[in-house]
């Protein structure tokens, strides 16, 4: 088994667009619209557990109205980190007796770690989402023998391809009703989850929404057909090219873990 984990940050081109559209900042002030990293990912070989999370961006308008600077580190980024670390820790503990039911239990336990953080800092009008708590979306997968136990919430994703990069499965990214990782117990009811069955040389992906459009792009998917030492650089070069063409689709902060099952 091989894997590659990569996080790419929001591009200058996208930041300028969002600064203009969201708070009407002139181009030379767009740097004020930058926020610290809010994606997080972790991957371990033994046992094979892979997790990503995407902190929900805070409310820029409210920050500007109240003359506040964007917190650094971002509370949403902290939530993403807490969730990923907890999934790795709890997933490893449950690995020997892993089954489909335990997928939900792993999420619940990781979400509970986020609850502790949000109880400490309290609700916030700048949290950027309707729950009032700092939050993230997330997805994880755990491989055991030829099975993949996976879960996603809102617009983080799990995808499964064969050796020729033909799609076998992709999660929906559905965010209705609105569900996030924020510590509330009810969020476990909105998980998308399941078990996938692997064949030799299948490819698995777990990724945040910034990679969603990439994963619909045939030319991007072809990069993973020949898994070699240049894979990371190919992804970087392709990202740079596509961001210049369409930063709205390709310039968001984004995280991806790709796994070759061999």
Structure token pair of residue 204: 């698995």
Cα–Cα distances in angstroms (integers) from residue 29 to residues 12, 26, 148, in the given order: 12, 5, 46
Please give the backbone phi and psi of residue 209, each rounded to the nearest 5 degrees, phi first: -65, -20
pLDDT of 1 above 90: yes
- The 10 Å Cβ neighbour count of residue 205 is 23
Select 2-261's CATH number: 1.20.1260.10, 3.40.50.300, 3.60.40.10, 2.40.160.20.
3.60.40.10
Estimate the crossing angle of helix 12-23 against helix 231-245, to 10 degrees.
40
Predicted structure pTM score: 0.95
Cis ω before 239 (30° cut-off from 0): no
pLDDT of 23 above 70: no
Which range (29-33, 126-130, 199-203) has the least confidence? Answer: 29-33
Residues 6+ apart with CB under 8 A from 50: 3, 5, 41, 42, 43, 44, 140, 141, 142, 204, 206, 257, 259
What pLDDT band is residue 108 in, cutting at 50, 70 and 90? Answer: very high
pLDDT digits (tens, 9 = 90+) for 35-57: 899 999 999 999 999 999 999 99
Locate the domains of the chain by residue range. Answer: 2-261
């Amino acid at each position: 088994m091989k894997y590659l984990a990569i996080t790419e940050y929001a591009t200058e081109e996208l930041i300028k667009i969002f600064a203009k559209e969201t708070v009407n900042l002139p181009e030379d002030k767009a740097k004020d619209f930058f926020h610290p990293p809010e994606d997080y990912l972790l991957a371990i070989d033994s046992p094979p557990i892979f997790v990503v999370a995407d902190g929900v961006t805070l409310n820029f308008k409210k920050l500007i109205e109240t003359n506040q600077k964007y917190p650094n580190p971002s509370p949403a980024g902290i939530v993403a980190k807490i969730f990923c670390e907890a999934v790795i820790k709890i997933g490893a503990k449950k690995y020997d007796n892993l089954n489909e039911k335990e997928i939900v239990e792993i999420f619940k336990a990781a979400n509970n770690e986020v609850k502790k953080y949000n109880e400490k800092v309290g609700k916030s009008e700048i949290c950027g989402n309707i729950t009032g708590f700092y939050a993230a979306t997330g997805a994880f997968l755990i491989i055991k023998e030829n099975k993949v136990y996976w879960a996603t919430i809102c617009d983080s994703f799990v995808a499964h391809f064969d050796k020729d990069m033909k799609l076998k499965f992709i999660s929906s990214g559905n965010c209705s009703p609105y569900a996030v990782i924020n510590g509330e117990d009810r969020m476990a009811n909105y998980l998308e989850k399941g078990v996938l069955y692997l064949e030799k040389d299948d490819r698995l992906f777990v990724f945040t929404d910034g990679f969603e459009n990439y994963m619909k792009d045939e030319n991007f998917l072809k990069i993973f057909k020949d898994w070699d030492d240049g894979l990371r650089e190919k992804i970087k070069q392709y990202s740079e090219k596509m961001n210049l063409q369409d930063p709205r689709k390709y310039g968001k902060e984004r995280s991806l873990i790709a796994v070759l099952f061999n």
